[in-house]
Structure 1
Protein backbone atom coordinates (compact mmCIF):
# COMPACT_ATOMS: atom_id res chain seq x y z
CA UNK A 1 0.00 0.00 0.00
CA UNK A 2 1.33 3.43 -0.96
CA UNK A 3 2.07 6.20 1.51
CA UNK A 4 -0.78 8.29 0.06
CA UNK A 5 -3.25 5.49 0.72
CA UNK A 6 -2.01 4.94 4.29
CA UNK A 7 -2.43 8.65 5.03
CA UNK A 8 -5.57 9.19 2.97
CA UNK A 9 -7.72 6.50 4.54
CA UNK A 10 -7.47 7.83 8.13
CA UNK A 11 -8.05 11.38 6.88
CA UNK A 12 -11.18 10.33 5.01
CA UNK A 13 -12.44 8.49 8.10
CA UNK A 14 -11.70 11.52 10.27
CA UNK A 15 -13.45 13.83 7.83
CA UNK A 16 -16.51 11.58 7.83
CA UNK A 17 -16.66 11.58 11.63
CA UNK A 18 -16.38 15.38 11.70
CA UNK A 19 -19.22 15.64 9.17
CA UNK A 20 -21.41 13.36 11.30
CA UNK A 21 -20.51 15.38 14.38
CA UNK A 22 -21.33 18.65 12.63
CA UNK A 23 -24.63 17.26 11.33
CA UNK A 24 -25.73 16.10 14.80
CA UNK A 25 -24.76 19.43 16.35
CA UNK A 26 -26.48 21.41 13.54
CA UNK A 27 -29.71 19.47 13.02
CA UNK A 28 -29.89 17.13 16.00
CA UNK A 29 -31.42 19.72 18.35
CA UNK A 30 -28.63 19.08 20.86
CA UNK A 31 -27.84 22.02 23.17
CA UNK A 32 -24.37 23.51 22.58
CA UNK A 33 -23.38 22.91 26.19
CA UNK A 34 -23.85 19.18 25.58
CA UNK A 35 -22.33 18.91 22.10
CA UNK A 36 -20.67 22.00 20.63
CA UNK A 37 -20.25 22.22 16.87
CA UNK A 38 -16.82 21.62 15.33
CA UNK A 39 -16.47 25.30 14.40
CA UNK A 40 -17.09 26.31 18.04
CA UNK A 41 -14.41 23.87 19.17
CA UNK A 42 -12.07 25.29 16.53
CA UNK A 43 -12.63 28.83 17.80
CA UNK A 44 -11.98 27.71 21.38
CA UNK A 45 -8.86 25.92 20.21
CA UNK A 46 -7.51 29.11 18.64
CA UNK A 47 -8.72 31.48 21.35
CA UNK A 48 -7.21 29.41 24.18
CA UNK A 49 -4.16 28.19 22.26
CA UNK A 50 -1.69 29.49 24.86
CA UNK A 51 -3.53 27.81 27.74
CA UNK A 52 -3.93 24.59 25.78
CA UNK A 53 -0.25 24.61 24.83
CA UNK A 54 0.91 25.02 28.43
CA UNK A 55 -1.49 22.32 29.61
CA UNK A 56 -0.40 19.95 26.86
CA UNK A 57 3.26 20.49 27.76
CA UNK A 58 2.55 19.58 31.38
CA UNK A 59 0.67 16.42 30.45
CA UNK A 60 3.30 15.45 27.87
CA UNK A 61 6.08 15.83 30.44
CA UNK A 62 4.23 13.62 32.91
CA UNK A 63 3.52 11.08 30.19
CA UNK A 64 7.11 10.90 28.94
CA UNK A 65 8.52 10.56 32.45
CA UNK A 66 6.01 7.85 33.30
CA UNK A 67 6.69 6.08 30.01
CA UNK A 68 10.45 6.08 30.53
CA UNK A 69 10.25 4.89 34.13
CA UNK A 70 7.58 2.29 33.35
CA UNK A 71 9.50 0.82 30.41
CA UNK A 72 12.78 0.67 32.33
CA UNK A 73 11.15 -0.80 35.44
CA UNK A 74 9.11 -3.31 33.46
CA UNK A 75 12.17 -4.43 31.47
CA UNK A 76 14.27 -4.90 34.60
CA UNK A 77 11.55 -6.88 36.35
CA UNK A 78 11.02 -9.07 33.28
CA UNK A 79 14.75 -9.84 33.19
CA UNK A 80 14.74 -10.71 36.89
CA UNK A 81 11.77 -13.03 36.36
CA UNK A 82 13.60 -14.69 33.48
CA UNK A 83 16.66 -15.26 35.66
CA UNK A 84 14.77 -16.52 38.69
CA UNK A 85 11.46 -18.42 38.62
CA UNK A 86 11.08 -17.53 42.29
CA UNK A 87 11.00 -13.83 41.47
CA UNK A 88 8.26 -14.51 38.93
CA UNK A 89 6.18 -16.50 41.43
CA UNK A 90 6.40 -13.72 44.02
CA UNK A 91 6.04 -10.65 41.84
CA UNK A 92 3.50 -11.68 39.19
CA UNK A 93 0.57 -11.83 41.69
CA UNK A 94 1.47 -8.33 42.86
CA UNK A 95 1.56 -7.05 39.28
CA UNK A 96 -1.82 -8.63 38.55
CA UNK A 97 -3.22 -7.12 41.77
CA UNK A 98 -2.07 -3.66 40.70
CA UNK A 99 -4.06 -4.09 37.47
CA UNK A 100 -7.13 -5.48 39.23
CA UNK A 101 -7.57 -2.27 41.23
CA UNK A 102 -9.13 0.52 39.11
CA UNK A 103 -6.84 3.47 38.52
CA UNK A 104 -9.56 5.82 39.71
CA UNK A 105 -9.38 4.14 43.12
CA UNK A 106 -5.61 4.53 43.30
CA UNK A 107 -5.44 8.12 42.07
CA UNK A 108 -6.64 9.78 45.32
CA UNK A 109 -4.12 7.74 47.34
CA UNK A 110 -1.29 8.68 45.02
CA UNK A 111 -2.20 12.36 45.25
CA UNK A 112 -2.30 12.04 49.03
CA UNK A 113 1.09 10.31 49.15
CA UNK A 114 2.97 12.19 46.43
CA UNK A 115 1.18 15.55 46.44
CA UNK A 116 -0.53 17.63 43.75
CA UNK A 117 2.59 18.04 41.63
CA UNK A 118 3.91 15.93 38.77
CA UNK A 119 5.10 13.07 40.98
CA UNK A 120 1.66 11.55 41.56
CA UNK A 121 0.78 11.76 37.83
CA UNK A 122 4.08 10.14 36.83
CA UNK A 123 3.50 7.30 39.29
CA UNK A 124 -0.02 6.86 37.91
CA UNK A 125 1.32 6.65 34.35
CA UNK A 126 3.93 4.10 35.49
CA UNK A 127 1.25 1.93 37.07
CA UNK A 128 -0.84 2.02 33.91
CA UNK A 129 1.95 0.95 31.55
CA UNK A 130 3.99 -1.28 33.85
CA UNK A 131 1.95 -4.43 33.25
CA UNK A 132 1.90 -4.35 29.41
CA UNK A 133 5.67 -3.86 29.21
CA UNK A 134 6.50 -6.46 31.85
CA UNK A 135 4.06 -9.02 30.51
CA UNK A 136 5.08 -8.63 26.85
CA UNK A 137 8.82 -8.70 27.56
CA UNK A 138 8.49 -11.63 29.97
CA UNK A 139 6.51 -13.64 27.42
CA UNK A 140 9.13 -12.86 24.79
CA UNK A 141 11.92 -14.07 27.05
CA UNK A 142 10.07 -17.30 27.80
CA UNK A 143 9.24 -17.99 24.14
CA UNK A 144 12.78 -18.07 22.77
CA UNK A 145 13.03 -20.74 20.04
CA UNK A 146 14.29 -23.94 21.74
CA UNK A 147 16.75 -24.61 18.91
CA UNK A 148 18.52 -21.33 19.64
CA UNK A 149 18.80 -22.17 23.33
CA UNK A 150 20.08 -25.71 22.62
CA UNK A 151 22.66 -24.41 20.17
CA UNK A 152 23.93 -21.79 22.64
CA UNK A 153 24.20 -24.36 25.41
CA UNK A 154 26.02 -26.76 23.09
CA UNK A 155 28.54 -24.01 22.40
CA UNK A 156 29.10 -23.59 26.14
CA UNK A 157 27.16 -20.36 26.73
CA UNK A 158 26.75 -19.47 30.38
CA UNK A 159 23.42 -18.54 31.91
CA UNK A 160 24.13 -14.84 31.59
CA UNK A 161 25.38 -15.10 28.02
CA UNK A 162 22.34 -17.18 27.11
CA UNK A 163 20.08 -14.48 28.52
CA UNK A 164 21.74 -11.40 27.03
CA UNK A 165 23.00 -12.83 23.74
CA UNK A 166 20.15 -15.18 22.80
CA UNK A 167 16.97 -14.73 24.79
CA UNK A 168 17.10 -10.94 25.04
CA UNK A 169 17.52 -10.26 21.29
CA UNK A 170 14.79 -12.80 20.54
CA UNK A 171 12.43 -11.05 22.96
CA UNK A 172 12.96 -7.51 21.63
CA UNK A 173 10.04 -7.66 19.13
CA UNK A 174 7.68 -8.70 21.95
CA UNK A 175 9.03 -5.91 24.15
CA UNK A 176 8.50 -3.45 21.29
CA UNK A 177 4.84 -4.48 21.13
CA UNK A 178 4.51 -3.80 24.85
CA UNK A 179 6.15 -0.38 24.47
CA UNK A 180 3.76 0.53 21.64
CA UNK A 181 0.79 -0.33 23.88
CA UNK A 182 2.37 1.64 26.72
CA UNK A 183 2.81 4.71 24.51
CA UNK A 184 -0.88 4.64 23.62
CA UNK A 185 -2.17 4.32 27.20
CA UNK A 186 0.45 6.29 29.15
CA UNK A 187 -1.48 9.59 28.79
CA UNK A 188 -4.46 7.92 30.50
CA UNK A 189 -2.55 7.64 33.76
CA UNK A 190 -1.41 11.25 33.64
CA UNK A 191 -4.89 12.57 32.83
CA UNK A 192 -6.58 10.47 35.53
CA UNK A 193 -4.13 11.83 38.06
CA UNK A 194 -4.86 15.38 36.90
CA UNK A 195 -8.59 14.80 37.28
CA UNK A 196 -8.17 13.86 40.93
CA UNK A 197 -5.85 16.64 41.96
CA UNK A 198 -3.69 19.03 39.96
CA UNK A 199 -3.12 22.68 39.16
CA UNK A 200 -2.32 22.27 35.47
CA UNK A 201 -2.48 19.80 32.61
CA UNK A 202 -5.07 18.80 30.03
CA UNK A 203 -6.99 16.67 32.53
CA UNK A 204 -7.21 19.58 34.95
CA UNK A 205 -8.27 21.88 32.13
CA UNK A 206 -11.00 19.50 30.97
CA UNK A 207 -12.34 19.15 34.50
CA UNK A 208 -12.33 22.91 35.04
CA UNK A 209 -14.04 23.56 31.71
CA UNK A 210 -16.66 20.93 32.51
CA UNK A 211 -17.57 22.53 35.83
CA UNK A 212 -17.95 25.89 34.05
CA UNK A 213 -20.01 24.38 31.20
CA UNK A 214 -17.33 25.48 28.73
CA UNK A 215 -17.89 22.40 26.63
CA UNK A 216 -16.15 23.84 23.59
CA UNK A 217 -12.94 24.28 25.59
CA UNK A 218 -13.30 20.78 27.04
CA UNK A 219 -13.62 19.32 23.52
CA UNK A 220 -10.63 21.38 22.41
CA UNK A 221 -8.52 19.97 25.25
CA UNK A 222 -9.73 16.48 24.38
CA UNK A 223 -8.73 17.03 20.76
CA UNK A 224 -5.26 18.20 21.78
CA UNK A 225 -4.90 15.13 24.00
CA UNK A 226 -5.91 12.82 21.16
CA UNK A 227 -3.47 14.42 18.72
CA UNK A 228 -0.70 14.31 21.31
CA UNK A 229 -1.32 10.61 21.99
CA UNK A 230 -1.35 9.73 18.28
CA UNK A 231 1.87 11.65 17.65
CA UNK A 232 3.53 10.02 20.66
CA UNK A 233 2.56 6.56 19.44
CA UNK A 234 3.75 7.39 15.92
CA UNK A 235 7.16 8.59 17.14
CA UNK A 236 7.60 5.54 19.38
CA UNK A 237 6.54 3.20 16.59
CA UNK A 238 8.92 4.88 14.14
CA UNK A 239 11.85 4.66 16.56
CA UNK A 240 11.15 1.01 17.36
CA UNK A 241 10.75 0.09 13.69
CA UNK A 242 14.11 1.63 12.85
CA UNK A 243 15.81 0.16 15.91
CA UNK A 244 14.49 -3.35 15.15
CA UNK A 245 15.19 -3.09 11.44
CA UNK A 246 15.49 -6.86 11.06
CA UNK A 247 11.87 -7.45 12.12
CA UNK A 248 9.57 -7.51 9.06
CA UNK A 249 6.86 -4.85 9.07
CA UNK A 250 3.47 -5.69 7.59
CA UNK A 251 1.12 -2.90 6.56
CA UNK A 252 -2.63 -3.30 6.28
CA UNK A 253 -3.88 -3.66 2.72
Structure 2
Protein backbone atom coordinates (compact mmCIF):
# COMPACT_ATOMS: atom_id res chain seq x y z
CA UNK A 1 0.00 0.00 0.00
CA UNK A 2 2.84 2.39 0.82
CA UNK A 3 4.56 1.64 -2.48
CA UNK A 4 1.33 2.16 -4.40
CA UNK A 5 0.71 5.48 -2.66
CA UNK A 6 4.21 6.73 -3.44
CA UNK A 7 3.80 5.73 -7.08
CA UNK A 8 0.53 7.64 -7.28
CA UNK A 9 2.07 10.71 -5.65
CA UNK A 10 5.09 10.86 -7.93
CA UNK A 11 6.74 14.22 -7.27
CA UNK A 12 3.66 15.54 -5.48
CA UNK A 13 3.06 15.54 -1.74
CA UNK A 14 -0.02 15.04 0.39
CA UNK A 15 -1.51 18.23 1.86
CA UNK A 16 -1.60 18.71 5.62
CA UNK A 17 -2.77 21.38 8.00
CA UNK A 18 -1.11 23.16 10.92
CA UNK A 19 -2.58 25.22 13.80
CA UNK A 20 -2.26 28.26 11.53
CA UNK A 21 -4.83 26.83 9.10
CA UNK A 22 -8.52 27.64 9.49
CA UNK A 23 -9.60 23.98 9.27
CA UNK A 24 -7.10 22.69 11.81
CA UNK A 25 -9.21 22.77 14.97
CA UNK A 26 -12.33 21.47 13.22
CA UNK A 27 -10.40 18.49 11.84
CA UNK A 28 -8.83 17.92 15.24
CA UNK A 29 -12.25 17.91 16.91
CA UNK A 30 -13.98 15.66 14.37
CA UNK A 31 -11.22 13.27 13.26
CA UNK A 32 -8.73 13.20 16.15
CA UNK A 33 -10.91 13.95 19.16
CA UNK A 34 -8.88 11.63 21.40
CA UNK A 35 -5.65 13.51 20.69
CA UNK A 36 -4.99 15.80 23.64
CA UNK A 37 -2.24 18.41 23.62
CA UNK A 38 -0.94 20.34 26.62
CA UNK A 39 1.44 23.29 26.45
CA UNK A 40 4.54 23.02 28.59
CA UNK A 41 3.51 25.90 30.85
CA UNK A 42 0.50 23.89 32.07
CA UNK A 43 2.85 21.33 33.66
CA UNK A 44 4.29 22.21 37.11
CA UNK A 45 7.70 23.83 36.68
CA UNK A 46 9.20 21.75 39.48
CA UNK A 47 8.18 18.57 37.67
CA UNK A 48 9.74 19.85 34.45
CA UNK A 49 12.97 20.49 36.32
CA UNK A 50 13.38 17.08 37.95
CA UNK A 51 12.36 15.19 34.80
CA UNK A 52 14.70 17.11 32.51
CA UNK A 53 17.54 16.75 35.00
CA UNK A 54 16.77 13.03 34.99
CA UNK A 55 17.01 12.88 31.19
CA UNK A 56 20.39 14.61 31.22
CA UNK A 57 21.62 12.37 34.04
CA UNK A 58 20.77 9.22 32.10
CA UNK A 59 22.58 10.61 29.09
CA UNK A 60 25.62 11.57 31.17
CA UNK A 61 25.82 8.01 32.49
CA UNK A 62 25.59 6.57 28.95
CA UNK A 63 22.29 4.82 29.61
CA UNK A 64 20.95 5.22 26.06
CA UNK A 65 21.72 2.55 23.48
CA UNK A 66 20.87 1.94 19.85
CA UNK A 67 18.86 -1.23 19.24
CA UNK A 68 19.54 -3.96 16.71
CA UNK A 69 16.25 -4.69 14.94
CA UNK A 70 15.16 -6.87 12.04
CA UNK A 71 13.04 -5.53 9.19
CA UNK A 72 12.01 -7.83 6.34
CA UNK A 73 14.78 -10.27 7.18
CA UNK A 74 17.53 -7.64 7.37
CA UNK A 75 19.25 -6.36 10.51
CA UNK A 76 19.44 -2.63 11.20
CA UNK A 77 20.68 -0.42 14.02
CA UNK A 78 18.09 2.14 15.11
CA UNK A 79 19.01 5.77 14.39
CA UNK A 80 17.71 6.83 17.82
CA UNK A 81 19.09 5.66 21.17
CA UNK A 82 16.72 4.25 23.76
CA UNK A 83 16.26 3.05 27.31
CA UNK A 84 13.22 1.31 28.77
CA UNK A 85 12.43 2.15 32.41
CA UNK A 86 9.46 0.87 34.38
CA UNK A 87 7.98 -1.80 36.60
CA UNK A 88 10.36 -4.69 37.33
CA UNK A 89 9.98 -7.53 34.86
CA UNK A 90 8.12 -5.59 32.17
CA UNK A 91 9.32 -5.88 28.57
CA UNK A 92 8.62 -4.20 25.25
CA UNK A 93 9.01 -6.02 21.95
CA UNK A 94 9.27 -4.45 18.52
CA UNK A 95 10.80 -5.53 15.21
CA UNK A 96 12.02 -8.86 16.64
CA UNK A 97 13.82 -7.12 19.49
CA UNK A 98 12.73 -7.37 23.11
CA UNK A 99 13.74 -4.66 25.58
CA UNK A 100 13.74 -5.29 29.34
CA UNK A 101 13.03 -2.50 31.78
CA UNK A 102 15.61 -0.88 33.95
CA UNK A 103 13.38 -0.99 37.05
CA UNK A 104 12.42 2.22 38.74
CA UNK A 105 12.26 2.18 42.57
CA UNK A 106 9.42 -0.18 43.48
CA UNK A 107 8.11 -1.21 46.89
CA UNK A 108 9.05 -4.80 47.69
CA UNK A 109 12.07 -4.85 45.37
CA UNK A 110 15.68 -4.31 46.41
CA UNK A 111 16.99 -2.54 43.32
CA UNK A 112 20.67 -1.62 43.08
CA UNK A 113 21.71 1.36 40.97
CA UNK A 114 25.17 2.30 39.76
CA UNK A 115 24.80 5.73 41.35
CA UNK A 116 22.32 7.78 43.42
CA UNK A 117 21.96 10.09 40.40
CA UNK A 118 20.56 7.29 38.24
CA UNK A 119 18.22 6.26 41.04
CA UNK A 120 16.91 9.83 41.30
CA UNK A 121 16.44 9.95 37.54
CA UNK A 122 14.28 6.82 37.70
CA UNK A 123 12.30 8.34 40.58
CA UNK A 124 11.68 11.42 38.45
CA UNK A 125 10.21 9.25 35.71
CA UNK A 126 7.80 7.67 38.21
CA UNK A 127 6.61 11.17 39.11
CA UNK A 128 6.17 12.05 35.45
CA UNK A 129 4.34 8.78 34.83
CA UNK A 130 2.05 9.45 37.77
CA UNK A 131 1.30 12.99 36.63
CA UNK A 132 0.55 11.89 33.06
CA UNK A 133 -1.74 9.16 34.39
CA UNK A 134 -3.74 11.71 36.39
CA UNK A 135 -3.98 14.12 33.45
CA UNK A 136 -5.03 11.35 31.06
CA UNK A 137 -7.81 10.16 33.37
CA UNK A 138 -9.10 13.71 33.86
CA UNK A 139 -8.99 14.45 30.13
CA UNK A 140 -10.83 11.27 29.21
CA UNK A 141 -13.39 11.93 31.94
CA UNK A 142 -13.96 15.36 30.47
CA UNK A 143 -14.56 13.87 27.04
CA UNK A 144 -17.07 11.42 28.49
CA UNK A 145 -19.13 14.02 30.37
CA UNK A 146 -21.87 13.89 27.78
CA UNK A 147 -22.40 10.20 28.61
CA UNK A 148 -21.68 9.97 32.33
CA UNK A 149 -21.51 12.37 35.25
CA UNK A 150 -18.06 13.52 36.25
CA UNK A 151 -16.50 11.40 38.98
CA UNK A 152 -15.01 13.62 41.65
CA UNK A 153 -12.11 11.87 43.30
CA UNK A 154 -10.40 13.59 46.27
CA UNK A 155 -7.55 11.09 46.06
CA UNK A 156 -6.74 12.29 42.55
CA UNK A 157 -6.74 15.91 43.73
CA UNK A 158 -4.36 15.10 46.57
CA UNK A 159 -2.19 13.06 44.25
CA UNK A 160 -1.92 15.94 41.81
CA UNK A 161 -0.56 18.16 44.56
CA UNK A 162 2.33 16.00 45.73
CA UNK A 163 2.84 13.56 42.83
CA UNK A 164 3.04 10.72 45.37
CA UNK A 165 2.87 7.36 43.54
CA UNK A 166 0.15 4.74 43.72
CA UNK A 167 -2.46 6.18 46.13
CA UNK A 168 -5.78 4.46 46.77
CA UNK A 169 -8.47 5.96 44.59
CA UNK A 170 -12.21 5.62 45.24
CA UNK A 171 -15.13 6.65 43.07
CA UNK A 172 -17.67 9.07 44.50
CA UNK A 173 -20.91 7.62 45.90
CA UNK A 174 -24.16 8.40 44.10
CA UNK A 175 -27.66 8.16 45.52
CA UNK A 176 -28.55 6.05 42.51
CA UNK A 177 -26.60 2.86 43.19
CA UNK A 178 -26.96 1.55 39.63
CA UNK A 179 -25.63 4.86 38.31
CA UNK A 180 -22.78 4.66 40.81
CA UNK A 181 -21.90 1.18 39.58
CA UNK A 182 -21.77 2.37 35.98
CA UNK A 183 -19.63 5.35 36.95
CA UNK A 184 -17.22 3.16 38.89
CA UNK A 185 -16.96 0.72 35.98
CA UNK A 186 -16.23 3.59 33.59
CA UNK A 187 -13.68 5.05 35.98
CA UNK A 188 -11.92 1.70 36.43
CA UNK A 189 -11.87 1.30 32.67
CA UNK A 190 -10.23 4.72 32.30
CA UNK A 191 -7.69 3.87 35.00
CA UNK A 192 -6.80 0.61 33.27
CA UNK A 193 -6.40 2.32 29.90
CA UNK A 194 -4.03 4.89 31.40
CA UNK A 195 -2.09 2.81 33.94
CA UNK A 196 1.33 3.23 32.41
CA UNK A 197 3.74 0.58 33.70
CA UNK A 198 6.80 1.66 31.78
CA UNK A 199 8.30 4.52 29.83
CA UNK A 200 10.35 4.29 26.64
CA UNK A 201 12.86 7.12 26.37
CA UNK A 202 14.16 8.03 22.92
CA UNK A 203 17.16 10.29 22.41
CA UNK A 204 18.45 11.73 19.17
CA UNK A 205 20.82 14.49 18.13
CA UNK A 206 19.88 15.58 14.59
CA UNK A 207 23.33 17.09 14.02
CA UNK A 208 24.98 13.73 14.67
CA UNK A 209 22.63 11.74 12.43
CA UNK A 210 24.02 11.80 8.92
CA UNK A 211 21.79 9.11 7.43
CA UNK A 212 18.29 10.46 8.02
CA UNK A 213 15.61 9.67 5.46
CA UNK A 214 13.35 12.21 3.81
CA UNK A 215 9.72 12.09 4.90
CA UNK A 216 8.11 10.76 1.69
CA UNK A 217 4.41 11.65 1.94
CA UNK A 218 4.10 15.24 3.15
CA UNK A 219 7.50 16.75 2.32
CA UNK A 220 8.28 17.42 5.99
CA UNK A 221 12.06 17.06 5.61
CA UNK A 222 14.37 14.71 7.50
CA UNK A 223 12.96 12.03 9.78
CA UNK A 224 14.58 9.62 12.24
CA UNK A 225 11.68 7.16 12.39
CA UNK A 226 9.24 6.59 9.54
CA UNK A 227 5.47 6.56 9.91
CA UNK A 228 4.43 3.25 11.42
CA UNK A 229 1.79 1.48 13.48
CA UNK A 230 2.87 0.11 16.86
CA UNK A 231 1.59 -3.44 16.58
CA UNK A 232 2.10 -4.09 20.31
CA UNK A 233 -0.34 -1.48 21.58
CA UNK A 234 -3.53 -2.83 23.09
CA UNK A 235 -6.57 -1.51 21.24
CA UNK A 236 -8.03 1.65 22.84
CA UNK A 237 -5.14 1.96 25.27
CA UNK A 238 -3.69 5.40 25.97
CA UNK A 239 -0.18 6.64 25.23
CA UNK A 240 1.32 9.72 26.89
CA UNK A 241 4.24 11.57 25.33
CA UNK A 242 6.59 14.10 26.95
CA UNK A 243 8.88 15.94 24.54
CA UNK A 244 12.04 17.75 25.66
CA UNK A 245 14.37 19.58 23.29
CA UNK A 246 17.63 21.04 24.54
CA UNK A 247 20.50 22.83 22.86
CA UNK A 248 24.14 22.43 23.75
CA UNK A 249 23.50 19.70 26.32
TM-score (norm. length: structure 1): 0.29
Q: Which has the larger radius of gyration?
A: 1
* Larger proportion of strand: 2
- Kindly indicate whether structure 1 or structure 2 has the higher relative contact order, using CA contacts under 8 Å at least 6 residues apart: 1
